[in-house]
């Protein structure tokens, strides 16, 4: 399975517009952005913690 192309993204966007409506899409996008940002921060923090523990033990 390859990457999504322009046509696929447009189809997904149209379906989302039909399901959620034009007023809810910006709120939905903002919520998804915050979720992705929190996930990235948490994963970066989880990766940094073992390194800090190893440095403290040495």
pLDDT digits (tens, 9 = 90+) for 22-33: 889 889 889 999
Output the pLDDT for position 52: 61
Residue 8 token pair: 């696929």
What is d(CA 21, CA 35) in angstroms, rounded to the nearest whole number? Answer: 21
- Whether residue 25 contacts residue 17, with contact meaning beta carbons closer than 8 Å, is answered with yes
**pTM above the 0.75 mark?**
no
Query: Rounded to the nearest 10 degrees, how much is the dihedral formed by the CA atoms of 15, 16, 17, 18?
Result: 50
Between the CA of residue 45 and those of 2, 11, 49, what are the distances in Å? 30, 36, 6
How would residue 1 be classed by pLDDT, with cut points 50, 70 and 90?
low
């Amino acid at each position: 399975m390859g990457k999504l192309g322009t046509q696929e993204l447009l189809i997904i966007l149209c379906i989302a517009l039909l399901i959620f409506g034009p007023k809810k899409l910006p709120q939905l996008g903002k919520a998804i952005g915050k979720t992705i940002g929190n996930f990235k921060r948490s994963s970066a923090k989880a990766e940094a913690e073992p390194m800090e523990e190893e440095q403290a033990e040495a």
